[in-house]
Structure formats: structure tokens, C-alpha cells
């Protein structure tokens, strides 16, 4: 009965050995190909395949560096735009595996070219190896193929005015150039070109031409300047037959004139190396891009999406093989509120001014900016929107609004206007040594008495001026869709600073547009942020401010009208059309009292305005006559 026991022990032992053997076999099974696939996917864009073993379709070893070289060569024009690659789940069959790759090449900054390829793998000596062939790169490529990228520029979006009409259009231009082999006397040629450009009042820098011509090949086109076709025709007889000049016709996106709202609109021209370096992969040589103003701010939108094709050049006269094609998508338009008639009148009013100047006009009923004009010339600086300068006596409007709203004064409150007023050792004087004596507030306002308003400063409190300015949109954040300086208003200053700030000096800074906005608020009785860019609409416009008290508004209207009927703005009294109301400003900007900016803000009918002349002297001599000219040109 005990004999079977050895048999049972033998059976148990065999079972144990079988389990051990099975466990050993499992532990020796090779890992799946996932790690190798991940290393290959990571290495493709880098051109380096650490931890990847390659073989060809016959099983012969292939160096990883050779694979990297083949990929770089086949990438061709896309070599500097590495793809994004995602691997699927490997399908394993004994000693072989296959994984699908989703390959995405950024053929433009916003457009990817996507396709799938398959990576075969084989297992040998417990190592998964990538079976390399050009088909892994792309199913339709051979080792000698190279990708070629072709781009087609999209139609650039336009900039439309408030009525929906184009402000900028494609217009004919002529590029003036020099072909070195045709030049007989370079200094004489440059002098003749300079004289011709001077008749157009164009400042063309010709100083670098000798070096450019010397460095160019005999038949190269050395660009000098691109002119509107109409401008070229004016000087054609002077430059066309000069030995060395050559010309190219073309088109450019242009405003109605070289100066029309130039700082606001910006310009369009060939992309520069600096722009290309700043945004790698965004542009190609020859692309047209915006410079300054709206053209640069909204360049990505206006340029649209270029058309792209990825091809493989055909051999022996065969047609190219197209692997990818995308049509260009035109850029959407930008719509702004500018009114060409108002803009032209503003620019014409500044045309004869030697100093930098600006006129801003706002439609009071809806806040639309009708003119954002800078003069003279075609400076890229948008002084109308971004200047940061003291407001001078225009800010007496803010001081008066504060005190009228608080009930501390009315238009007939007598406020003494002495020749000078000293505050903590700081002496304040009036323009021309003016003395009004004991005069009602409306007279002090109309005649712009500094000493009277400085004496009112203690009644404003430490933040009163800033708080009231904010109620008129000064010193609060704006969103116009373009860069704008909305002001910085003095607050919490000592007695001297408060006295200076009460009549627009001290540390307060404003821009023409912010003062035009304040004038619009004074006209309608409430500040609403002005509007410039309608489409795309501003993301975060400033909220409306509380309405002014009716009594305050009536008083402001009375006093601002008196400025024109009998005060410092009298040179606008007889302008045809609706009556003009406003407030002048002569603002000192350094320690020399003779250095002053000239200001005038106000409203007429449905238009609020601000006129600024840098270092223009007295408002009565510069800004006020300019406003009169503007409204005369604009008409009733």
C-alpha cells in the first residue's frame, strides 16, 4: 500500500519543473517594439537616432547616420521645417511588426501637410530593428527624390472705411533701379536721381548706392526706390534715359496718397530679413508684409493663407508629382471708422505746418473716429494716438467740471485773476502778463486765466482732478484695436503740483485722441470710448462713464462757447457752419516758458475734435487757426 508514494512524488516534481521552465521562458521573451518606435519617431525631426538599429529590406545593416542623411536629403525644401510624427499601436506577428505613422509637415505657419506611412520592424537576437526604405519617409518616394515646396501668395485683405469702401487698393508702381554695366558716371547718375526725387519732395537715401553698385553683378538690378506710377510720370523725362537706370513695373497695396493716414494705416512691402529672423518659418523671400499701423498690427489676418504645393520634380521631362496642394485663402478685410472726407480736410489743414501736428475728429453720436491725421509729411509716428504731452489750459475743462459737479462753483462765481500767484515758492503767471482781477468763472475760463484756476486747486482734493479726468475718459485703459495713449493724470501731489495740474501743467500727460474723446464727452454729457476698428471689433473697450449732471453740462457748454465768441478761440468765431465751442491750451513742456505746445479741443455739430501743434507756441497762433481751416475745408 505504500509503494505508490514515490510515483506521486515524481509527478509533483515534474509539475514543479514544468512551472519553473515556463517561468524562465516568459522571462526571456523580448520586449515589444514600442521603445524602438518611440526612439525612431523622436529621432526623425532631430536627425539623430539614438537606440535605433536599422536594416534594409534584405536584412543588411544600415547605419543610423545614413538614414538621417537620407531623410534630410529627401526633405528638400522642408528640411528646415521638421514634421510632427505620431505613432500608432504596433501590430506584431511573431518576428515582424508594423506601425502606422501620422506625419504632419508645417508647410506654412498655419497649414500642415499630413499623410500616413508605415514602419516595418523585424526581430533578431532579441532586438527589434527598423526596416528602412524611402517608403518609410513617404510611400511614394524613392531614395533620389526630394520634396519641393511651392507657395502662392493669397490676395491681401483690404482696409475699408466707415462706409465699407476700400481705403487701400492695389495700384501701379514703378521701381527705379540701376544696372551696373550701363553706368558711365555713377556720381553724376546719383546726383541726377537725387535732384529728380527732390522735385517730388521725397527724401530718398542714396548714400549707400556706390557700395551697392560696386558689390552687384554687371546685370544685377540694384533697387533705388519704388514710386507710385503717377509720381514716376512726373519725373520720367528726368530719369528714364540716364545711363544706368532701369525700371520695373508692378503693383503695391497703397492708400489714396502717400500721406493719407499713413501712420494709422501703415504700408505694405517686401518682407525684411529682420522680420524673417524674428518669426522663423512664417515668411518666404518676396512675401509682402505690413509695416507700421494697421497693416503690421493685423498682418497675419490681412495676409490670409498662402497656397502651397509639395511636389517631387519629374525626371527626363516628366511632369512633377504633386503630393499635396492647398489653394490660397484671401485675407479678410479690416474695417475702420475713418471718413476720407474728414481725414483729407484734417491733413490739408496741417499741410503748411513745419512742426509735427495732429488733428483728431470724432463723431459725437456714435464715437466713431472720423480722422486720425498726422502732419506734415508721411512720418510713421502716429502722434494723434500715441503722443504723451502736457495738455496745458485745456485741462481747465476738467478742473471746472469737478468743481461744477460738486456744486462748489457756478459760471458766475467770482475767482480772482491776478498777474501772478505764488504757491510754496512756485510762481504761476498768465500768458502775456494778463490781469483780469475779480472776474466770474466763465470769463476766467474764456480768457484762460492760469492764476484763477491754480487758486482753485485746494478745492479739488488730492485725487479730484484724476477722478474727474477718468469720468471724461482720461487716464483709463482704452482698447481701440491699435496702440493708444489714454493719459496719465496728476494725483496726490503737493500744493505746488496740485496748483500746476489745475491748469494743465505738472505731471499730467495726454494725447490728441484722448482730448478729442473728452471733448465728445463734454458735448454729449457722457464719456463713451471712441471706436476705430469695427472689424475685428476691439476685445475690451472701456466701459461707459457716468453721465454728467445737466447743470454741469449746461455750464460747460456756455463757457466753451464763450471761448470762441469772445475768448482765446475767437479766430474760429466766423467759420461757416454750426457754431464751434472749445477750450484752448498753451502747454509748457520744459523749463523754458518760450517752449510751448499749442492745443485746441472742442466740438461743432456732431463732431468733436482736438488739434495739436508740437512746439507751436500760443494756441491762438497755431492750433486755433488750424481748427478754423479744418472746419472751413470740411464744410458745414
**Percentages of the chain per state (helix, strand, coil), in multiples of 5:** 35, 25, 40
pLDDT digits (tens, 9 = 90+) for 395-430: 999 999 999 999 999 999 999 999 999 999 889 999
Where b means 16+ CB within 10 Å and e means fewer, 416-452 reads ebbeebebeeeebebbeeeebeebbbbbbbbbbbbbb
**Band of the pLDDT at 20, cuts 50, 70, 90?**
very low
Measured CA distances, 330 to 42, 180, 302, 405, 623 (Å): 36, 38, 8, 53, 43
| Cα 484 from Cα 469, distance rounded (Å) | 17
Report pLDDT digits (tens) over 194-234.
999 999 887 788 999 999 999 999 999 999 999 999 999 99
Domain 34-144 fold? Nuclear Transport Factor 2; Chain: A, (3.10.450)
Q: What is the pLDDT of residues 609-619, one digit of tens each?
A: 999 999 999 99
State residue 181's pLDDT score. 95
For residue 88 the three cell numbers come to 500608432
pLDDT score for 29? 57
pLDDT tier at 363, thresholds 50, 70, 90: very high
Can you tell me the distance from the alpha carbon of 574 to that of 156, in angstroms, rounded to the nearest whole number? 46
Give the pLDDT band of residue 526 (cuts 50, 70, 90): very high
Q: Cell for 87? A: 505613432
> In which band, very low, low, confident or very high, does the pLDDT at 498 lie, cut at 50, 70 and 90?
very high
| The pLDDT value given to residue 381 | 86
Q: Where are the domains of the chain?
A: 34-144, 159-332, 340-362+375-634
Phi, psi of 299 (to 5 degrees): -60, -45
Cα–Cα distances in Å, from 186 out to 7, 145, 264? Answer: 115, 47, 38
Percent of the chain with pLDDT over 70: 95
H helix or E strand, kind and range, residue 600: strand 596-604
280-328 per-position pLDDT tens digit: 878 888 888 999 999 999 999 999 998 999 999 988 888 999 999 999 9
Say how many residues make up the chain.
636
Model confidence at 25, pLDDT cuts 50, 70, 90, reads very low
- How many Å apart are CA 236 and CA 233, to the nearest integer? 5
Once rounded to an integer, what is the mean pLDDT over residues 437-450?
Answer: 97
pLDDT at 8 over 70: no
CATH topology of domain 159-332: Penicillin-binding protein 2a (Domain 2) (3.90.1310)
Residue indicated by cell numbers 514600442: 34
Distance of CA 234 to the CA centre of its chain: 33
Do 393 and 504 form a contact (C-beta atoms < 8 A)? Answer: yes
Question: What pLDDT does 376 receive?
Answer: 80
Q: What is the pLDDT of residues 32-80, one digit of tens each?
A: 999 999 999 999 999 999 999 999 999 999 999 999 999 999 999 999 8
**pLDDT(627) > 70:** yes
- CATH fold group of domain 340-362+375-634: Beta-lactamase (3.40.710)
Q: Quote the pTM value.
A: 0.81
pLDDT tens across 109-159, in order?
A: 788 999 999 999 999 999 999 999 999 999 999 999 999 999 888 999 999
**What's the chain's average pLDDT?**
92
Residue 22 has pLDDT above 50, yes or no: no
Distance (Å, whole) CA 597 – CA 428: 18
Q: At 593, is the pLDDT very low, low, confident or very high (cuts 50, 70, 90)? A: confident
- The answer to whether 472 touches 478, Cβ cutoff 8 Å, is no
Q: How far apart are CA 275 and CA 581, in angstroms?
A: 47
Tell me, what's the pLDDT at 17?
39
Question: In a 3-state reduction of DSSP, which class is residue 445?
Answer: helix
Question: What local confidence, expressed as pLDDT, does residue 284 receive?
Answer: 80
Amino acid at each position: 500500500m505504500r509503494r505508490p508514494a514515490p510515483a506521486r512524488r515524481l509527478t509533483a516534481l515534474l509539475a514543479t519543473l514544468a512551472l519553473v521552465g515556463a517561468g524562465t521562458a516568459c522571462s526571456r521573451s523580448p520586449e515589444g517594439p514600442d521603445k524602438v518606435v518611440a526612439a525612431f519617431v523622436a529621432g526623425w525631426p532631430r536627425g539623430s537616432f539614438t537606440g535605433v538599429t536599422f536594416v534594409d529590406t534584405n536584412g543588411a545593416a544600415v547605419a543610423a547616420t545614413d538614414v538621417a542623411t537620407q531623410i534630410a536629403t529627401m526633405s528638400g525644401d522642408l528640411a528646415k521645417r521638421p514634421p510632427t510624427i505620431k505613432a500608432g499601436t504596433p501590430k506584431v506577428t511573431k518576428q515582424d511588426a508594423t506601425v502606422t505613422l501620422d506625419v504632419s509637415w508645417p508647410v506654412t505657419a498655419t497649414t500642415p501637410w499630413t499623410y500616413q506611412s508605415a514602419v516595418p520592424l523585424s526581430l533578431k537576437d532579441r532586438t527589434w530593428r527598423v526596416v528602412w526604405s524611402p517608403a518609410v519617409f513617404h510611400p511614394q518616394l524613392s531614395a533620389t527624390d526630394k520634396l519641393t515646396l511651392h507657395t502662392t501668395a493669397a490676395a491681401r485683405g483690404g482696409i475699408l472705411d466707415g462706409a465699407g469702401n476700400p481705403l487701400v487698393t492695389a495700384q501701379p508702381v514703378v521701381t527705379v533701379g540701376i544696372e551696373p554695366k550701363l553706368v558711365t558716371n555713377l556720381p553724376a547718375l546719383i546726383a541726377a536721381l537725387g535732384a529728380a526725387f527732390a522735385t517730388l519732395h521725397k527724401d530718398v537715401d542714396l548714400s549707400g548706392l556706390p557700395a551697392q553698385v560696386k558689390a552687384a553683378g554687371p546685370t544685377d538690378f540694384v533697387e533705388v526706390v519704388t514710386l507710385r506710377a503717377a509720381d514716376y510720370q512726373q519725373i520720367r523725362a528726368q530719369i528714364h534715359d540716364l545711363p544706368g537706370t532701369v525700371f520695373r513695373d508692378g503693383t503695391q497695396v497703397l492708400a489714396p496718397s502717400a500721406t493719407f493716414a499713413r501712420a494709422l494705416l501703415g504700408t505694405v512691402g517686401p518682407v525684411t530679413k529682420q522680420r524673417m529672423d524674428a518669426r522663423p518659418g512664417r515668411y518666404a523671400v518676396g512675401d509682402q508684409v505690413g509695416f507700421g499701423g494697421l497693416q503690421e498690427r493685423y498682418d497675419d489676418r490681412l495676409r490670409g493663407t498662402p497656397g502651397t504645393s509639395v511636389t517631387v520634380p519629374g525626371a527626363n521631362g516628366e511632369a512633377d508629382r504633386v503630393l499635396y496642394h492647398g489653394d490660397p485663402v484671401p485675407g479678410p478685410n479690416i474695417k475702420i471708422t475713418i471718413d476720407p472726407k474728414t481725414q483729407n480736410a484734417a491733413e490739408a489743414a496741417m499741410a503748411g505746418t513745419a512742426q509735427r501736428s495732429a488733428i483728431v475728429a470724432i463723431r459725437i453720436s456714435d464715437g466713431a473716429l472720423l480722422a486720425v491725421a498726422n502732419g506734415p509729411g508721411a512720418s510713421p509716428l502716429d502722434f494723434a494716438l500715441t503722443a504723451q504731452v502736457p495738455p496745458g489750459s485745456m485741462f481747465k475743462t476738467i478742473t471746472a467740471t469737478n468743481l461744477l459737479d460738486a456744486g462748489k462753483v457756478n459760471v458766475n462765481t467770482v475767482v480772482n485773476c491776478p498777474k501772478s500767484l505764488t504757491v510754496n515758492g512756485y510762481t504761476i503767471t498768465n500768458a502775456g502778463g494778463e490781469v483780469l482781477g475779480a472776474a466770474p468763472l466763465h470769463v476766467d475760463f474764456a480768457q484762460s486765466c492760469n492764476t484763477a484756476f491754480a487758486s482753485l486747486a485746494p478745492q479739488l482734493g488730492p485725487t479730484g482732478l484724476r477722478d474727474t479726468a477718468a469720468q471724461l475718459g482720461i487716464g483709463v485703459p482704452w482698447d481701440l484695436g491699435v496702440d493708444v495713449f489714454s493719459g496719465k493724470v496728476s494725483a496726490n501731489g503737493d500744493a505746488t503740483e496740485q496748483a500746476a495740474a489745475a491748469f494743465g501743467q505738472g505731471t499730467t500727460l495726454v494725447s490728441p485722441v484722448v482730448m478729442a474723446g473728452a471733448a465728445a464727452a463734454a458735448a454729449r454729457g457722457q464719456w463713451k470710448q471712441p471706436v476705430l476698428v469695427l472689424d475685428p471689433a476691439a476685445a475690451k473697450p472701456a466701459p461707459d462713464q457716468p453721465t454728467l449732471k445737466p447743470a454741469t453740462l449746461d455750464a460747460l457748454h456756455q463757457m466753451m462757447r464763450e471761448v470762441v465768441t469772445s475768448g482765446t478761440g475767437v479766430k474760429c468765431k466766423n467759420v461757416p457752419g454750426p457754431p464751434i465751442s472749445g477750450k484752448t491750451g498753451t502747454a509748457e513742456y520744459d523749463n523754458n516758458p518760450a517752449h510751448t505746445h499749442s492745443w485746441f479741443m472742442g466740438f461743432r455739430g456732431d463732431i468733436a475734435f482736438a488739434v495739436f501743434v508740437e512746439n507751436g507756441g500760443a494756441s491762438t497762433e497755431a492750433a486755433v487757426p488750424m481748427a478754423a481751416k479744418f472746419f472751413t475745408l470740411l464744410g458745414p
